[in-house]
Amino acid sequence: MPQNEKQLSIRPEFQSGPLPFGVNGSVGRMESIVSAAGEVAGHGLRMHYVFQDLTQAKDIYGDRWQTFVANSGVVQCFSANDIFTAEWISKRLGRTTVAYSERSGASGMALASQPFAGTGRTETVDLLAPHEVMRYFAREDRHLRQLLLVSGQPPLVCQKGYYDKIKMVV
Contact 132, 138 (CB under 8 A): no
- pLDDT tens per residue, range 117-150: 567 889 999 999 999 999 999 999 999 899 999 8
Q: What is the CA radius of gyration of the chain?
A: 24
- pLDDT tens per residue, range 68-124: 888 788 889 989 899 999 999 999 999 999 998 876 665 555 555 665 556 788 999
Q: Domain ranges in the chain?
A: 30-72, 74-104+119-160
Residue type, 100: Y
Residue 102 sits at φ, ψ, to 5 deg, of -120, 125
Distance CA 63, CA 61 (A): 6
Could you tell me how many helices (H) and strands (E) the chain has, helices first? 6, 7
Indicate yes or no: pTM above 0.85: no
- pLDDT tens per residue, range 13-38: 656 777 777 777 777 887 777 777 76
Contact 85, 93 (CB under 8 A): no
